[in-house]
Structure 1
């Protein structure tokens, strides 16, 4: 089964958090990070509250289910280096699939994922994005 996950920057401290996305119509968007490391003395309600983090919606990216050539998870919005083509590219989700876009060329991410190296993302490394375009 394909792993479905998300990442986003917390509103309170701007740190990245990874987990399941929860969106409510009348509230903030949250990521529930299941950070259990064994037995817990917390009640279920406290466990939920302690692991729900309000997220800046502009930073939400979905996990692609793929890893780069170094085994790093690839998320939508990641910027990678393609050694074969000697250029940076951006991971995007368009037309129902994840693409790796570089120099106005779009390739299916699953075909090239093991040949790229993730260097950053569009949120923290806009300078790489400018090079990719």
Structure 2
């Protein structure tokens, strides 16, 4: 069975103090994360229910890990490096609004992919993908890559 997991930034400062880096992982219900969490980013042991979150920071785990074993979530910023040293940064997005119901990234001129960029890059063996941040905590990574 496919693992379904979400993450989001915590809304209240009291809760934020209890959760490292301000992020919580788990299921989502009515704008709250229900955490059945044994995640290393949380001090919640076992189960934290109804943690209020900042709705616009919700991101779903896309079912793929980067080269370091880090789970890739919607909203993450990936660094993609070709074996020849060429590289770019891109945000993981869900593209349902353009009739392409998949998590993927956009690529700049000079790179070509025939299908889902993330899957093709991983399967080809010519690229290394790593999570280097996310659009909420590290937006400067995308600005610097333009």
In the TM superposition, what is the alpha-carbon distance from 1:112 to its structure 2 partner? 2.4
Which residue in 2 is equivalent to 1:87? 88
Task: Tell me how far apart the structure 2 counterparts of residues 93 and 35 of structure 1 sit (CA, whole Å).
Answer: 24
Question: Are the counterparts in 1 of residues 25 and 37 from structure 2 also a CA contact under 8 Å?
Answer: no
Which residue in 2 is equivalent to 1:42? none
User: In structure 1, the residue corresponding to 2:92 is in which secondary structure?
Assistant: strand
Give ranges in structure 2 of 5+ residues lacking alignment: 17-21, 39-45
Question: Are the counterparts in 2 of residues 88 and 131 from structure 1 also a CA contact under 8 Å?
Answer: no
Task: Tell me how far apart the structure 1 counterparts of residues 145 and 6 of structure 2 sit (CA, whole Å).
Answer: 23
CA RMSD of aligned residues (A): 2.3
Size of the aligned set, in residue pairs, is 117
Q: For 1:20-35, what aligned pairs fall within 5 Å after superposition?
A: 20-23=27-30, 29-35=31-37
In the TM superposition, what is the alpha-carbon distance from 1:12 to its structure 2 partner? 1.1
Which residue in 2 is equivalent to 1:115? 128
In the TM superposition, what is the alpha-carbon distance from 1:132 to its structure 2 partner? 4.2
Normalising by structure 2, we get a TM-score of: 0.71
User: In structure 1, the residue corresponding to 2:27 is in which secondary structure?
Assistant: strand
User: In structure 1, the residue corresponding to 2:69 is in which secondary structure?
Assistant: coil
In the TM superposition, what is the alpha-carbon distance from 1:123 to its structure 2 partner? 0.6
Normalising by structure 1, we get a TM-score of: 0.77
Structure 1: 4+ residue segments shifted above 6 A: none
